[in-house]
């Protein structure tokens, strides 16, 4: 993916009214990352994007769960699981 992290605020809002439904993860950065097959903005596959409007709330929440996993994996791959506030470095 590109050098910058996918939007970490893309996680599904925790407090959501069932009357409003599940929001789309689209952040209007629509660019497919060919090697991964994921949108660089919302971390969805082409199928997830194309079928979003046909999904019920449970399927949409499942996509959000997949997005959160993809984001966590991207962070782990990018930063090797290192915390930017490494206490060992601070103690040096």
User: Could you give the number of structural domains in the chain?
Assistant: 1
Element (H, E) at 79: helix 57-79
Range of the domain at 38: 26-79
> 59 lies in a domain?
yes
% pLDDT > 70, the chain: 65
Residue 85 lies in a domain: no
pTM of the model: 0.69
Residue 84 lies in a domain: no
Residue 46 lies in a domain: yes
Is residue 66 situated within a structural domain? yes
Residue 55 inside a domain? The answer is yes
Q: Please write the tens of the pLDDT for every residue from 59-81.
A: 999 999 999 999 999 999 999 86
């Amino acid at each position: 993916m590109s050098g910058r992290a996918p939007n970490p605020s893309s996680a599904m809002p925790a407090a959501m009214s069932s009357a409003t439904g599940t929001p789309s993860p689209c952040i209007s950065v629509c660019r497919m990352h060919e090697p991964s097959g994921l949108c660089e903005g919302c971390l969805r596959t082409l199928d997830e994007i194309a079928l979003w409007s046909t999904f019920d709330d449970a399927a949409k929440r499942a996509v959000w769960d997949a997005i959160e996993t993809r984001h966590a994996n991207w962070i782990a791959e990018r930063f090797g699981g290192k915390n930017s506030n490494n206490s060992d470095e601070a103690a040096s």
